[in-house]
Homo-oligomer: A and B are copies of this chain.
Amino acid sequence: MANMANSEACASPLELFNSVTTQGEHVRALKAGNASKDEIDSAVKMLLSLKMSYKAAMGEDYKANCPPGSLAPSSNHGPDAMITEAEEDFVDPWTVQTSSAKGIDYDKLIVRFGSSKIDKELINRIERATGQRPHHFLRRGIFFSHRDMNQVLDAYENKKPFYLYTGRGPSSEAMHVGHLIPFIFTKWLQDVFNVPLVIQMTDDEKYLWKDLTLDQAYGYAVENAKDIIACGFDINKTFIFSDLDYMGMSPGFYKNVVKIQKHVTFNQVKGIFGFTDSDSIGKISFPAIQAAPSFSNSFPQIFGDRTDIQCLIPCAIDQDPYFRMTRDVAPKIGYPKPALLHSTFFPALQGAQTKMSASDPNSSIFLTDTAKQIKTKVNKHAFSGGRDTVEEHRQFGGNCDVDVSFMYLTFFLEDDDKLEQIRKDYTSGAMLTGELKKTLIEVLQPLIAEHQARRKEVTDEIVKEFMTPRKLSFDFQ
């Protein structure tokens, strides 16, 4: 997966402006320097795509020498321009861009992607079907969108089987708390529905996209698997696999990959993922590898040769393009379409419109952080929706919609009443930013410490067992 947890790329308007400018200069340099046609074509394509992203994020065309915020002579934007900006977020598996401090507008994304909102009715139905209180990620709209979840529930209520599939792109050893979101939720789904789960580590993808060796990518897959296992998955119902490993161990996986690859053209992946002629044939064909685990006979050791077992994929919404493609192909090759549950993105400490980066330790809370590091990061870096002075804050109150500490609490503070009280107190000004941050620190410190303790228990033998193709225990009809 590019990143099932959440995408780490959000560029500010000025950053976007600067990348268009730089790329424009690059194209001119190439043309001046008699570069090859291919090289120039590819640079021009990139320039056009950057300009499109700029327009999508800013609501107006890029104009040289007019950075965002400056007075563009030909612009007739009134106060509505800000709204237009927020309207056009950009989301794909590699880039998530918004200029709004509140983050992406998810209602608009649902309309654009053609998925369905997870509404109260669906949440109630999940509660009735499982007999369990819905997870706070559902209650709070963190998992906010779905495809065909009602079909999964129909099947479940008729005692028909389904299985869960999620994944991670192991781009480094370092995972942050945001990466845990889909896994925390998937564990809950596994517990309440009592179903088997497959977790794909796309080390092949990371090898293809990043400057990594095969061994490094595989090493990250194994290290990341330990953090995933530490979320508490049931070893008897969970199979974790590295693509690099599993492709050479499974009689079913490659066959499904080839089936999918036969039914998807370059035109299609170009349209969905924005690939260009300069991309490697590995990247171009990779989407089939992320698609294949959506079909049960990719796992003959678990499901035999059954092709009819419904798959449910919990993931961040930026992964949806892969599964739109998968759902498009499924009927052509005689398989059921996978259902999906989509989560929102996890914001960077610096704010929902900034870029979270594994190379910047201050952009998030990492799973290896000490209690002290957590305290310092939250206090120093978490973007605040509070006022400039205590007096102003007391008088006008803080803004929870842009306050990253409050956003993090919606992810990790399970107590609804307490969260609501914080929201009220912070909005009214009764609670100061320092107090809000203190609450978050007190939630995160034990959460990370407990994760670290559980991860320490995950021995190499346990990882090996999770990653061995084998029967899983479940009772399907």
Contact = CB atoms under 8 A, between A and B. Distances in A.
Contact of A281 (B214, B255, B269): B269
B258 A207 contact: yes
B214 A258 contact: yes
| 9 A-B pairs closest in CB distance | A261-B282, A285-B285, A247-B254, A281-B285, A248-B251, A267-B277, A262-B282, A266-B277, A248-B250
B265 A277 contact: yes
A360 interface: no
A38 interface: yes
A279 B265 contact: yes
Interface in A41-90: 42
Interface of A: 38, 42, 204, 207-208, 214, 244-245, 247-255, 258-259, 261-267, 269-270, 275-282, 284-285, 287-288
A280 B38 CA distance: 22
B284 A281 contact: yes
A248 B204 CA distance: 15
Contacts of A208: 258, 261-262
Given A244-B258, A266-B279, A266-B280, 13 more contacts: A42-B267, A207-B258, A208-B258, A208-B262, A244-B254, A244-B255, A248-B253, A261-B285, A264-B280, A266-B281, A267-B277, A281-B284, A284-B285
A281 B258 contact: no
A339 B254 CA distance: 29
Contacts of A261: 208, 280-282, 285
A36 to B, nearest CB: 10
Nearest to A266: B277
Output the residue of A38, A266, A284 with the most chain B CB within 10 A. Answer: A266
Contacts of A287: 281
A281 B329 CA distance: 13
A217 to B, nearest CB: 9
A267 to B, nearest CB: 5
Contacts of A249: 248-249, 251
10 contacts: A204-B254, A247-B248, A254-B254, A261-B280, A262-B280, A264-B280, A265-B279, A266-B275, A266-B281, A270-B277
Contacts of A248: 247-255
Given A207-B262, A259-B214, A262-B208, A38 B267 contact: yes
A295 to B, nearest CB: 13
Contacts of A285: 261, 281-282, 284-285
A442 to B, nearest CB: 45
Contacts of A276: 266
B247 A266 contact: no
Nearest to A215: B255
A328 to B, nearest CB: 13
A281 to B, nearest CB: 5
A343 to B, nearest CB: 28
